Structure 1
Amino acid sequence: MTSRILYLFASAAPPVFDIAQVIETAQADGWDVCLGLTPTGARWLGDSLDGLAELTGHPVRSEYKLPGQPDVWPKADVILFAPATFNSINSWALGITSSFVVGVVAEAIGKGIPTVTMPCVNAAYAQHRQLHRSVTELREQGVTVLYGDGGFEPNPAGSGKPAGYPWDIALSAATHLVDEA
């Protein structure tokens, strides 16, 4: 049986520290996981990157490859971008692809790769109108955005509740998108 390929992308938000457990959960469900991080996410997990690469069996990526270099990952069946920060969500919706993971998810829209994202923003960021515009824009382009009812609900600024991040909802949504295809 061929494994399904999950690109698991993450920004620098407190739930990123649970990424190894999320990878193990996905692998137990039959996923072959490729991990991509924003540059700051990679910096936050710096001491763990080699272990995460060993866990997934693939290099952890946070930068674009150079022209002429081969792609080191298999083709994705689905992409899950979680946690996705205020910056990542807005950059993606606006087409600002200065980071590798944002570039891949922006391109995924045009390639028709099923994509799920779950923001991780505090209640102060949630008051900014651009976040709501960006969520609407991504949804209109076919991205499953797990935000609000049935997804991520913002915490008060400074409360930092990474244990409450609903990873199970995000993984379930990614599985559902592939099963629908």
Structure 2
Amino acid sequence: MTNRILYIVVCGAPLASRTADGVKAARANGWDPYVIPTEAAMPWLADQDLRDVPVITGNRTPDQPKRTPPADAVAVVPMTFNTLNAWANGNANTYPLTTLCAALGSRTRTAAIPFAKHDLAGHPAWLASLAVLRYAGVTIVDPQNGSRSSIEPIASGTGNEVASAFHWEWVFASLEHR
């Protein structure tokens, strides 16, 4: 245990298939990871070995204690169009979104890896929501090349290829950079 807590919020897109790799990379970079998947991410996690990491789903009941220690950082890998817009608008109607909204409010170091194809990224809300999150201090990282300055949409049909070539080090470099 390192005592540096990292929440890995996972949304439902091909990059979610690399969550177990992210857990290993987090530990190699000195983090204790907690995986917080959206409902849409669950099928992507089903075949991954996540037995040795806490996977936190659903809201806790009033009689349950908190399930996670406070985060030192948050990584949203991948961040879908839906989560991007809901988070930027302050919607906290699921546990992952509540976690993300709370991270913004507490100014917790956060890196987000947007994963959307061109038709969704062409929607006006895409750029507006990215701008809101950047303004709030979130580091946005392109999943195709690790760039923090420009984000390109994923070409249709290439999601698995982009996921395979993704480097988790881009996430950790962004968290250390801030």
Q: Shorter-chain-normalised TM-score: which range?
A: 0.7 to 0.9
Give the corresponding residue for 1:150.
Answer: 147
Residue 17 of structure 2: aligned partner: 17
Q: What's the CA shift for 1:37?
A: 0.4
If the length of structure 2 is used for normalisation, what is the TM-score?
0.87
In structure 2, the residue matched to 1:32 is 32
State the shift of 1:104 in Å.
Answer: 0.7
SS state of the match for residue 81, structure 1? strand
Deviations 1:58-99 (Å, cap 9, x if unpaired)? 2x1121111231112121100111100000001101112222
Alignment partner of 2:130 out of 135, 138, 142: 135
Q: Which runs of 5+ in 1 are unaligned?
A: none
Amino acid at match of 1:61: I
Q: Which residue of 1 aligns with 2:41?
A: 41
Shift of 1:101: 1.0
What are the equivalent positions in structure 2 for 1:30-109 lying under 5 Å apart?
Answer: 30-48=30-48, 51-52=49-50, 54-56=51-53, 58=54, 60-109=55-104
1:167 counterpart residue number: 168
**Letter of the structure 2 residue corresponding to residue 103 of structure 1:** T
For 2:52, what is the secondary structure of its paired residue?
helix
Equivalenced residue count is: 172
Match of 1:7, SS state, is: strand
Separation in structure 1 between the aligned mates of residue 47 and residue 38 of structure 2, nearest angstrom: 15
Q: What letter is aligned with 2:91?
A: I
Deviation at 1:176, TM superposition (A): 2.9
What is the root-mean-square deviation in Å for CA atoms of aligned residues? 2.0
Distance 1:28 1:123 in 2: 34
CA distance in 1, matches of 2:21, 2:122: 31
The structure carrying a bigger helix percent of its residues is 1
2:5 and 2:69 in contact (8 A); partners too: yes
Alignment deviations for residues 96-117 of structure 1 (CA, whole Å, 9 cap, x no partner) = 2222111111111112211111
Q: Which moved more, 1:2-11 or 1:155-164?
A: 155-164
1:165, CA displacement in angstroms?
Answer: 3.0
Does structure 1 retain, via aligned residues, the 8 Å contact 2:2–2:30? no
Cα drift, residue 118 of structure 1: 1.2
1:45, 1:149 → 2: CA distance? 23
Give the TM-score of the pair, scaled to structure 1. Answer: 0.86
State the identity as a percent.
30
Contact 1:39 1:99 in 2 (8 A): no
- SS across alignment from 1:55: coil
Q: 1:14 to 1:149 in 2, by over 3 A?
A: closer
3-state SS of the aligned residue for 1:118? strand
Q: Distance in 1 between matches of 2:118 and 2:126?
A: 11
